[in-house]
Structure 1
Amino acid sequence: MPFKTILAVLGIPQTDRDLQTAADISNQVRAHLSVFIVGFAPQPTSRYATLASTWFEQRDWNLKALGETATTVRDKLSKREISFEVDSIYAEVAGATYDIGERALYSDLILMGPDAFQNADLKQQIITGGLIQSERPVLLIPPGPIPTLHPKTVLLAWDSRAQSANAAREALQLLSNAKSVHVAMVDPTATPRQSGDEPGADVATYLARHGIDVTVDALPSAGRTVAQVLQRHANDVAADMIVMGAYGHSRLRELVFGGVTRSMLDEARLPVLMAR
């Protein structure tokens, strides 16, 4: 699907790099950019800490910084030829999850810029609110690579699960515009009810009907983790992006991820588009 509304979640005080990334990406596809700035309340050191004057002083300082950041962001975006809106929220550490999720309902893609990627609290809330609560795709952008929504080569991590298929559909326009798409499977097994006699053939046929140039790569793990195999293969084929399904569940507002998803969230070295 086309990305017409992009939600960028920013933390404070680190906003410059993520804002620049979001503005550049939105401009690439002429999308409306919705910026949501999250400020966190100071963590109380005891049950009585919220009554201390220092806690209120820190809160007032944070609120002022949040307002100044929002003003600065609006000023910077107003100088660019881009459709945008800016909103902000001041929340407890776990309090922004549902607000992010509500805004994500009206977006086609959520951006997690390099600074947000390195902010553990903000990262978890973007994933929980956007990917799990609202089931919107999230583009993780680690520090280093220059992200693009016009990738030339894409690696699609495939294991014949519904989440992988959903990720492929969410990224269908990206895949269609790419010069090559590698459907990568790690230690695939032929099973009649899932991957069929020839693992990867079904999804390759599906993508080919959309005019997508597909290569199916069956990769041995050879003692490495799936995430390590995928990232190494992405490097070998000079991929600009990895597209993958995310696995996990939300329980009492706590996100539990394991395996490949957790590794990618922590160790991604190039942009990863996740969907469920």
Structure 2
Amino acid sequence: MSIRTILVLFDGGNASKSALQTAFAVGRDVGAHIQVLSLHVDPELFMVMSEATIKKMAAQQSKESADRAAKAHGIFDDLCSRYGIPSRDGPGGQEEVSAAWIEETGHYYETIIRRGRLADLIVVGRPTPEAEPSVRMILHAALFETGRRVMVAPPLAPSSLGRKIAIAWNGSAEASRAVANAIPFLTRSEAVIILTAETDNTPLSTADELAAYLAWHGVAAEIRAFSPERQLVPEALLGEASNSGADLLVMGGYHHSRMRQLILGGVTRHVLETAELPLLMAH
């Protein structure tokens, strides 16, 4: 499926600023419409407190939220001007990049799920140890609850994106879904590298099969098998991606909890915590 709409939640913070810049870069490359969502926290979240406390905290939260939104809107306008992206609410006659500023009141998790399910790509910031809890919440909602492509932007927005793409391949359903979602990027890239760890769980033959599949889409892929040896698989994976010069890593998103899906698998967690290049993920 082509990418016509991109959703990014923006609050003016560092993580969301990188996400916005990354969304603008992708939108400009593929000619997509970027929906930039500014979310105000719902005052009903304070209803468990006393009436006086509710009024005080709701008023304070409302002011802080309005100030944050105004600052974020200013950054949005500046970036639109810098990237040469026009503002538009509805579809035009041609496939060209545009952006829209949207303000809404609600809860992060529920709003990302509802709006994300109607976006072709969701761009989120990478959760760092210093990031607000909402950054991790937004990532989990986007990756595990929307069924859509999710791009995770590194702390520093990339100077290039999608020219050389690495695929983390282990033959799993999650990795397969990530590859399928990455086709619009893979067909536009200059080079594609399939990275597969030499372990008992990942036969090298599956990488050959992936290369054959990609060839039907006009994508010539190089296969690079690596042995983790003394390194953990995620550390070795990121090292190989970096050494290859990749500016985008395609991989599946895994978890160990079927109840709430909030406990990430080891490889997913490590990559999300340390990757310095954008990730294109699917669950």
Question: Contact 2:167 / 2:251 at 8 angstroms: preserved in 1?
Answer: yes
Unaligned runs of 5+ in 2: 89-98
Q: Which residue of 1 aligns with 2:86?
A: 81
Question: Contact 1:179 / 1:213 at 8 angstroms: preserved in 2?
Answer: no
- Cα displacement string for residues 191-210 of structure 1 (whole angstroms, at most 9, x for unaligned residues): xxxx6672312111111121
| Correspondence list, 1:49-88, <5 A | 51=53, 54-69=56-71, 71-72=73-74, 75-76=77-78, 79=81, 80-83=85-88, 84-88=99-103
SS in structure 2 at match of 1:165: helix
Percent pairwise identity: 26
- Cα displacement string for residues 75-128 of structure 1 (whole angstroms, at most 9, x for unaligned residues): 44775335422223444xxx3111111111111111124699963423222222
Q: Does residue 198 of structure 2 align to residue 187 of structure 1? A: yes
| Correspondence list, 1:198-237, <5 A | 198-237=205-244
**How many Å separate the matches in 2 of 1:240 and 1:48?**
51
- Cα displacement string for residues 179-200 of structure 1 (whole angstroms, at most 9, x for unaligned residues): 221111112437xxxx667231
Shift of the 117–78 alpha-carbon distance from structure 1 to 2, 3 Å rule, reads farther
| Correspondence list, 1:135-150, <5 A | 135-146=147-158, 148-149=160-161
Q: Which residue of 2 aligns with 1:129?
A: 141
- Greater mean deviation of Cα atoms: 239-248 or 15-24: 15-24
**How many Å separate the matches in 2 of 1:117 and 1:11?**
18
Q: TM-score, with normalisation over the residues of structure 1? A: 0.82
**How many Å separate the matches in 2 of 1:235 and 1:137?**
22
- Greater mean deviation of Cα atoms: 122-131 or 29-38: 122-131
**How many Å separate the matches in 1 of 2:34 and 2:277?**
22
Question: Contact 1:152 / 1:240 at 8 angstroms: preserved in 2?
Answer: yes
Q: Which residue of 2 aligns with 1:106?
A: 118
**How many Å separate the matches in 2 of 1:236 and 1:119?**
28
- Greater mean deviation of Cα atoms: 11-20 or 23-32: 11-20
- Cα displacement string for residues 40-94 of structure 1 (whole angstroms, at most 9, x for unaligned residues): 47998x9659726652442132232255246536744775335422223444xxx
Q: CA deviation at 1:230?
A: 1.0
1:24 partner amino acid: A
Question: Contact 2:18 / 2:153 at 8 angstroms: preserved in 1?
Answer: no
2:183 partner amino acid: L
Question: Contact 1:66 / 1:88 at 8 angstroms: preserved in 2?
Answer: no
Q: CA deviation at 1:248?
A: 1.5
- Cα displacement string for residues 237-261 of structure 1 (whole angstroms, at most 9, x for unaligned residues): 1111100000116666561102111
SS in structure 2 at match of 1:124: helix
Q: Which residue of 1 aligns with 2:95?
A: none
Shift of the 196–63 alpha-carbon distance from structure 1 to 2, 3 Å rule, reads closer
**How many Å separate the matches in 2 of 1:9 and 1:76?**
17
Unaligned runs of 5+ in 1: none
Q: CA deviation at 1:167?
A: 0.3
Q: Which residue of 1 aligns with 2:91?
A: none
Question: Contact 2:124 / 2:139 at 8 angstroms: preserved in 1?
Answer: no
Q: Does residue 34 of structure 2 align to residue 33 of structure 1? A: yes
**How many Å separate the matches in 2 of 1:96 and 1:22?**
19
Shift of the 163–19 alpha-carbon distance from structure 1 to 2, 3 Å rule, reads closer
Question: Contact 1:186 / 1:220 at 8 angstroms: preserved in 2?
Answer: yes
1:10 partner amino acid: F
